[in-house]
Amino acid sequence: MNRGLLYAFVAYGMWGVLPIYWKTLQSVSPAAVLSHRMVWSLVVIGVILTARKEWAWIKWVDHKTVLTFVAIALLLIVNWYTYLWAINAGFIVESSLGYFINPLVNVLLGGLFLGERLRPVQKVAIGIACAGVLYLTLSLGALPWIALTLAFTFGLYGLLKKTAGLNALDGLGLEMTILSLPALAYLLFAGDPASPSLLTGTPFVTALLVGTGIVTAIPLLAFAAAARRLTLTTLGLMQYMAPTMQFLIGVYIYGEAFTPARAVGFVIIWLALALYSGETILRHRQRSQQRAQMAKAVAAD
């Protein structure tokens, strides 16, 4: 198997099964799990940066970068907390919807904030997705706020990261550095009854809490490795693997309701994604053919 595909399968596969991991920590409050995740992620990333001797980026961090990453860290808090709460409150299916919608949100944000020109098919796909969200809102009598919160916080997170000037690992290191002190303070002083200390918790729960840093860092590293080896088109299509796995886990393992009304809303949004993905593949092939023809023309000359 192509190494890039292998790394992508590791990244998206781990993200896909994370609901099972978080469900296993259901006895611990989402705030405590979030705090542990921040602290242990910093430990894991610090070990990796030290092993790679990649601390030079600290010299280039200025006040503007710090302020940018404070905003990035806040978006990460909202995204991670919403996801943890939703998983343990029985909303895995709606959470998966957020990550199905996310690629279209990224396109929308690129058009609004980066001046990227939306192609006609992209506009149609976004319109269809909006229709799907509207249908879910009207049919279920409530806005799918979990899905929208996850989609837009992750989209804005990616937007800010794109303009922040640090790579994924270095940026995550700075994010966790910013977040680890308040996270550690919460664990030590908040008095959360559902926040077992590493000394008083059961060995199994303690191991899972420490492992939150590992399950955060490994898929990010695998994703970064995959991104260097695969085309954006291939990587973009594979990103649907994680929410698909989450959706199946929610329905078939944890028995979450998937009513006909909800199914119609999902199908509308999946139609938007199919249109968007199909146009992306076609455009990529056309560009590849054009480059091949230009290369032949240059060789002939």
What's the average model confidence in pLDDT over 129-141?
A: 93
Determine which of 56-70, 157-171, 191-205, 210-224 has the lowest per-residue pLDDT on average. Answer: 191-205
Q: What is the mean pLDDT of the chain?
A: 89
pLDDT one-digit tens code per residue, 208-236: 999 999 999 899 888 878 877 877 667 77
Determine which of 50-54, 86-90, 162-166, 294-298 has the lowest per-residue pLDDT on average. Answer: 294-298
| pLDDT, position 201 | 66
pLDDT one-digit tens code per residue, 79-95: 999 999 999 999 999 99
Alpha helix (H) residue ranges in the chain:
3-24, 30-52, 63-88, 92-113, 120-140, 145-162, 168-189, 203-229, 232-238, 241-248, 260-300
HSE at residue 127, side-chain half, CA atoms within 13 A, is 7
| pLDDT, position 281 | 85
| pLDDT, position 232 | 66
pLDDT above 80 (res 31): yes
HSE at residue 262, side-chain half, CA atoms within 13 A, is 16
CA–CA distances in Å: residue 173 to residues 15, 55, 78, 209, 224: 19, 10, 18, 19, 14
Alpha helix (H) residue ranges in 29-113:
30-52, 63-88, 92-113
pLDDT one-digit tens code per residue, 255-301: 999 999 999 999 999 999 999 999 888 887 888 788 877 777 777 66
Q: pLDDT grade, residue 9 (50/70/90)?
A: very high
pLDDT above 60 (res 1): no
Q: Which two tokens stand for residue 296?
A: 């032949």
Q: pLDDT grade, residue 147 (50/70/90)?
A: very high
**Cα 150 from Cα 247, distance rounded (Å):** 15
pTM of the model: 0.90
pLDDT above 80 (res 193): no
**Cα 264 from Cα 113, distance rounded (Å):** 31
